[in-house]
A and B are shown apart, each in its own frame.
Chain A
Amino acid sequence: MKALPKEEKNKKNNVNQLAELLNLLDFSGKGEIEFEDVDMQIGELVLQPSALASAALKAVKPPTVLAPPKAKPAKILEVSFKPFTQEYPGKIREVKLGATRSEGGSRGKTIEVGGATSPAFYLFEKAPPHPPVIAVDTFDMKVRLPKAIRTHVEEVWEDAAAWAKMGVDKWGADLISVHLLSTDPLIKDAKPAEAAKTVEEVLQAVDVPLIIGGCGDPKKDAEVFTKVAEVAEGERVLLSSLTLDMGEAGVLEKVAKAAAKYGQLVLGFTALDLNRAKELNRKLQDDVAEDSILMDLTTAALGYGLEYSFTIHERARIAALMGDSELQHPVLAGTTNAWAAREAWLKLGSEWEPRELRGPIWETTTALTLLLAGVDIFMMMHPDAIRTMKKIKEQLMIRGNAKPEKIASWVDAKI
């Protein structure tokens, strides 16, 4: 295509339009329909930016109704910018995890989450009072792990307490999650008392708040959580998780009451369904204080349904801010689930290597996406993903650090 010189081309367009317009005007006596059409054409012409018009207007006599042609701007037309902001009637509840000695526990530090009054990181509206936090996942028995993770935890693989200590000392974990997988009736069927002992060991090993994970069997989890709640009295550990299945099995109330009695927190888990999440929260609120309930809305891995998780988290957060009090609890995401995606660990061919980077960037992307949807607590696994997320959330909490001069010349930078 050979480009027409600008003037000529614009003139051509305008001449065409004007000719059309004049045609219509010529028959303007004919009736209403045409008259309406004329209005519209005029409207369009006025929108035409235009000194361009002026050349054309000389050629064909303009109808008197036309506004005077506008000249092309010769300098920047200054307009201001004001962000569109909103007031939200709702607020996410503030929840404190862990308790210090003076508060009845033994933690060196406690963690507060929640309190948001705007969508995630809308700092132009209001910064959240508490930054999101990261828990490092540990297990009470040797679990299958992708090689990229295994190399980092080999020495502590079967020792939750040692794993927890490494998570805090080396990776900067805000919290530790202990998954009591050995209690699964289909695995080792470890007794609640044994599981409670593991929890005590981890409480000894680290001074950050704990999240206690079960095995997924509603009845067994209820027994284990009840025992753990008692043994860790006053520690404000988070029991992960309480479910509607526990309700069906007739054990939900009992475990919720035990949590309340011994001063623990509960995490309500539902599978990508806000109505069920609300139903569960209503049930939990019967026995547990509102500031001791968190939600797990399900975290699917990138490539395996992350978009469903992302959207359900965005919907939940906006509904909560708009006033739905049954959803105004902080949320937790098990982003370690990212490793369920084959893309995180599978050998895919040389062009996709190294897997040692592909895995942790997969976990990072999964976590980061949910960070932007408003998640408050992340349960994570790979040290590089954890380090990156820590950095990102810190950076996202502070405004005013963009330096235009640093990127101004990216176009001709030698990279």
Chain B
Amino acid sequence: MSEREIKKGVRGLSPIDAYTLLPRTNCKKCGEANCMAFAAKLVNREVSLEGCPPILEKEHIKEYKKLEEMLAPAIKEIVIGAGDRAVKIGGKLVMYRHEFTYHNPIALAFDVTDEMPARPRFSGEEALLDRVKKVEGFSYEYIGRELKLDMIAVRSTSNDSTAFRSTVGTVTELTEMPLILCTFDPNVMEAGLVAASGRRPLIYAATKKNWKEMADLALMYDCPLTIFAPNDLSLLRSLSKTLMEYGVKDLVLDPGTFPDEGLSETVNNFTMVRRNACKGGDELFGFPLIGTPITAWLNGEEPKEMLAWKEAYLGSTLMTRYADILIMHSVDGWSQLPLVVWRFNIYTDPRKPVSVDPELYTFGEPNEKSPVMLTTNYALTYFTVESDLKKFGGNYYLIVADTEGISVESAVAGRYLTAESIAEAVKNSGIAEKVGHKHLIIPGMAARLSGETEDELKNIGLSGWHVMVGPRDSSGIGKFLDEKWPPKEEE
């Protein structure tokens, strides 16, 4: 039985386990009230061990090591790149998201080649400059966050050291994003590593044939190293052992990404590797996984859109099934959007409630003339509306009705949002005392409740209130208010 198997799972850890190893002086240097409070946060991964200054001192080295081992993730955390833009990958504590929050969102890398010119030589030619700019410039605003891309993968398609060195050099000048250097030829790789000096790129990749030379390079240039063993998990494991013995500490595993008829093998391989590490305590597989949906483009006969489509679903499949980095080709907005949104979603804390408190929220500095709107308390509905209201600017009241955390459309269909519950929410909000008008804007998705709601408001003592049907999507609020607010006085 390996050590990992007998080690308590992350969820099995109690604050006491950590507390007994802490100095227990309640010195408060960590900012917590006492050592027990720090221990609780420690096992909950809300603080890191380094937050306790005394434990870092020499006299506690033994306890420090024990705590470090106890808290070590099943999947090693690896840093690629340097400086502010460096990405951390791996560091996963668990296999399933419901067991514990996933750490370190998947890094998305996009390829350039060493046969691309730095700048376009003729109109329409894709050059390094444009492509890197496109990756850098990708940004989507989603519930108040910027969703972006992370890395550049430089492929040597020339297999020429001079060309690779020059391209890697150009890319390092164009962007601070972390790099993956891709070639199986150690000489070409070394040329790239020289050009990327100080940037700690990920080396892609050591194989059955070149592992020794690649290992020497990884050690010499102090870079993480990928193992590429397509559909051969024994080889992947053997190379992992070999390279660890060789002295390479930061490994990334690639069991191969096979599009089309190899999809099942791909999913099974990724799953088996991660499962052996998380459930079976296999330290040789305790490293981040890299997926290469770019392989969807190898079948170049299909139309471009079809290949980008295939790449996108291959990418989201591997996001769900345990990849820590993905190398992609298409930078098209339509194909990358589902990936960046899913990545954001799957890395949120599953313990976070699905709902926000049903109460009255204010935006800006609303006064007695400000619009009064209503939505449901599903967290994502609320945050979407919030983000739209902030983007549009201005002063508003927003009544959040209790729909047990269900979105507007489903809440109306499932009778979680009814004329009665709207009227009750309006009454409880006390809005009638705050504004001088009697207009309530309800979501367009709840349009069919408008008449009934007016009746119901009257029934509970809010007579004279009018229900205005707002847009079906909160992105339309700005336009709606421009056209309809302030409302014409009632006939």
Docked pose: A300 CA to B341 CA in angstroms: 14
Q: In residues 81-106 of chain A, which contact B (Cβ within 8 Å)?
A: 81, 83-84, 86
Q: Which of B282, B320, B378 contacts A310 (CB 8 A)?
A: B320
Q: Produce 1/0 per residue, B365-384, CB < 8 A to A.
A: 00000000000001111001
A406 & B258 in contact (Cβ 8 Å cutoff): yes
A218 & B415 in contact (Cβ 8 Å cutoff): yes
**B335: interface (CB < 8 Å):** yes
Q: Which of A6, A342, A343, A410 contacts B216 (CB 8 A)?
A: A6
A1 & B142 in contact (Cβ 8 Å cutoff): no
A366 to chain B: closest residue by CB: B338
A361 & B312 in contact (Cβ 8 Å cutoff): yes
**B219: interface (CB < 8 Å):** yes
B183 & A412 in contact (Cβ 8 Å cutoff): yes
**A400: interface (CB < 8 Å):** yes
Q: Which of A123, A187, A269, A305 contacts B354 (CB 8 A)?
A: A305
**B342: interface (CB < 8 Å):** yes
A36 & B62 in contact (Cβ 8 Å cutoff): yes
**A357: interface (CB < 8 Å):** yes
Q: In residues 35-70 of chain B, which contact A (Cβ within 8 Å)?
A: 59, 61-62, 65
Q: Produce 1/0 per residue, B213-251, CB < 8 A to A.
A: 000100111100000001111111111011011110000
Residues of B within 8 A of A81 (CB): 233-234, 236-237, 276
A37 to chain B: closest residue by CB: B61
8 contacts between A and B (CB under 8 A): A10-B219, A76-B238, A76-B242, A86-B279, A298-B410, A365-B342, A401-B264, A411-B156
B335 & A124 in contact (Cβ 8 Å cutoff): no
Q: Produce 1/0 per residue, B196-212, CB < 8 A to A.
A: 01100000110010011
Docked pose: A76 CA to B378 CA in angstroms: 54
B338 & A346 in contact (Cβ 8 Å cutoff): no
Partner-contacting stretch, out of A170-178, A191-199, A388-396: A388-396
Q: In residues 217-250 of chain A, which contact B (Cβ within 8 Å)?
A: 217-218, 243, 245
**A408: interface (CB < 8 Å):** yes
A357 & B335 in contact (Cβ 8 Å cutoff): yes
Residues of B within 8 A of A33 (CB): 59
**B257: interface (CB < 8 Å):** yes
Residues of A within 8 A of B384 (CB): 304, 342
Residues of B within 8 A of A50 (CB): 247
Docked pose: A415 CA to B110 CA in angstroms: 13
A84 & B405 in contact (Cβ 8 Å cutoff): no
Partner-contacting stretch, out of B15-23, B343-351, B460-468: B343-351
Residues of A within 8 A of B212 (CB): 74
Q: In residues 356-414 of chain B, which contact A (Cβ within 8 Å)?
A: 378-381, 384, 404-407, 409-410, 412-414
Q: Produce 1/0 per residue, A300-334, CB < 8 A to B.
A: 10111111101100110010000000000000000
| Pairs A-B, 3 closest by C-beta atoms | A84-B280, A402-B265, A402-B262
Residues of B within 8 A of A346 (CB): 473, 475
Chain B interface (Cβ < 8 Å from any Cβ of A): 59, 61-62, 65, 96-98, 111, 140, 142, 155-159, 182-184, 193, 197-198, 204-205, 208, 211-212, 216, 219-222, 230-239, 241-242, 244-247, 256-258, 260-269, 271-272, 275-276, 279-280, 282, 284, 292, 294-295, 297-298, 300, 305, 309, 312-313, 316-317, 320-321, 329, 333-335, 337-339, 341-342, 345-346, 348, 350, 354, 378-381, 384, 404-407, 409-410, 412-416, 448-449, 452, 473, 475
Residues of B within 8 A of A52 (CB): 247
A189 to chain B, nearest CB (A): 12
- Residue of B197, B272, B381 most packed against chain A (CB within 10 A): B272
A121 & B246 in contact (Cβ 8 Å cutoff): no
Residues of B within 8 A of A217 (CB): 415
B276 & A388 in contact (Cβ 8 Å cutoff): no
A84 & B275 in contact (Cβ 8 Å cutoff): yes
B230 & A408 in contact (Cβ 8 Å cutoff): yes
B319 to chain A: closest residue by CB: A369
B244 to chain A: closest residue by CB: A49
* Given the contacts A352-B337, A404-B256, A73 and B245 also touching, CB distance less than 8 Å: yes
* Given the contacts A217-B415, A361-B334, A124 and B219 also touching, CB distance less than 8 Å: no
* Given the contacts A49-B246, A372-B317, A398-B264, A1 and B198 also touching, CB distance less than 8 Å: yes
A198 to chain B, nearest CB (A): 19
A271 & B309 in contact (Cβ 8 Å cutoff): no
B263 & A395 in contact (Cβ 8 Å cutoff): yes
Docked pose: A121 CA to B300 CA in angstroms: 29
B334 & A305 in contact (Cβ 8 Å cutoff): no
B454 to chain A, nearest CB (A): 14
Residues of A within 8 A of B262 (CB): 401-403, 406-407
- Residue of B157, B197, B404 most packed against chain A (CB within 10 A): B157
- Residue of B142, B184, B350 most packed against chain A (CB within 10 A): B350
**A78: interface (CB < 8 Å):** yes
B211 & A411 in contact (Cβ 8 Å cutoff): no
Residues of B within 8 A of A122 (CB): 268, 271
**A65: interface (CB < 8 Å):** no
Residues of A within 8 A of B264 (CB): 121, 123, 395-399, 401
B333 & A351 in contact (Cβ 8 Å cutoff): yes
Docked pose: A162 CA to B263 CA in angstroms: 35
B222 & A3 in contact (Cβ 8 Å cutoff): yes
B298 & A406 in contact (Cβ 8 Å cutoff): yes
A311 & B258 in contact (Cβ 8 Å cutoff): no
B347 to chain A, nearest CB (A): 9
Docked pose: A13 CA to B24 CA in angstroms: 34
A402 & B354 in contact (Cβ 8 Å cutoff): no
**A40: interface (CB < 8 Å):** yes
B97 & A300 in contact (Cβ 8 Å cutoff): no
Residues of B within 8 A of A245 (CB): 414-415
Residues of B within 8 A of A37 (CB): 61-62
Residues of B within 8 A of A396 (CB): 263-264, 267
Q: Which of B267, B313, B448 contacts A187 (CB 8 A)?
A: B448
B131 to chain A, nearest CB (A): 12
A388 & B309 in contact (Cβ 8 Å cutoff): yes
A361 & B309 in contact (Cβ 8 Å cutoff): yes
**A147: interface (CB < 8 Å):** no
**A414: interface (CB < 8 Å):** yes
**A285: interface (CB < 8 Å):** no
Q: In residues 49-92 of chain A, which contact B (Cβ within 8 Å)?
A: 49-50, 52, 70, 72-74, 76-81, 83-84, 86
* Given the contacts A314-B96, A314-B97, A410-B295, A80 and B265 also touching, CB distance less than 8 Å: no
**A110: interface (CB < 8 Å):** no
A365 & B292 in contact (Cβ 8 Å cutoff): no
Docked pose: A255 CA to B293 CA in angstroms: 48
